[in-house]
Chains A and B, each alone.
Chain A
Amino acid sequence: MTTDERPGNRADEQVHMAAVDEFLAWGKEHSLFYLLFATACCGIELMQAGGPRYDVDRLGMIPRATPRQADLMIVAGTITHKMAGRVRTLWEQMTEPRWVVSMGSCANSGGPFSKWSYSVLNGIDKYVPVDIYIPGCPPRPEALIDGVMALRERVKRYRTVGERDRTPYIVAGPEAPFGGHCKVPDFTAKKPDGGGGGSA
Chain B
Amino acid sequence: MSAVANDAIATAVLAQFPAVQQKHADNGRAFLLVPKGDLVAVAHFLRTQKSLRFDALMDLTAYDLLKYPSTPPSDDIAVVYLLFSYQHRHKVTLKVLAPRAECEVATVSGEWPAALYFEREVFDLFGVRFPGHPSLRRIMTPDDWQGHPLRKDYLYPDSYHGVAHLRDGQHFEGSPPRGGDTP
Contact = CB atoms under 8 A, between A and B. Distances in A.
Interface of A: 81-82, 84, 109-110, 114-116, 118-119, 121-123, 126-127
Contacts of A119: 141, 149
A81 B157 CA distance: 12
Given A81-B160, A116-B175, A122 B141 contact: no
B163 A84 contact: yes
B176 A110 contact: no
A114 B163 contact: no
A118 B157 contact: yes
13 contacts: A81-B142, A81-B161, A82-B142, A109-B167, A110-B167, A115-B172, A115-B175, A116-B176, A119-B141, A119-B149, A122-B165, A122-B167, A126-B163
Contacts of A122: 164-167, 170
Query: What's the dominant secondary structure at chain B's contact region?
Result: loop
State the majority secondary structure of interface residues on A.
loop
B64 to A, nearest CB: 15
B170 A118 contact: no
B182 to A, nearest CB: 10
Contact of B165 (A82, A118, A127): A118
Contacts, number: 34
A81 B163 contact: yes
A82 B149 CA distance: 14
Interface in B29-82: none
Contact of A114 (B140, B142, B156, B166): B166
Given A82-B141, A82-B142, A118 B167 contact: no
Given A81-B142, A82-B141, A82-B142, A118 B149 contact: yes
Contacts of A114: 166-167, 170
A114 B172 CA distance: 10
Contacts of B160: 81
Contacts of A116: 175-176
A123 B163 CA distance: 10
Contacts of A109: 167
A84 B141 CA distance: 12
Given A82-B141, A118-B157, A123 B167 contact: yes
A147 B174 CA distance: 35
Contacts of A115: 172, 175
Contacts of A110: 167
Contacts of B142: 81-82
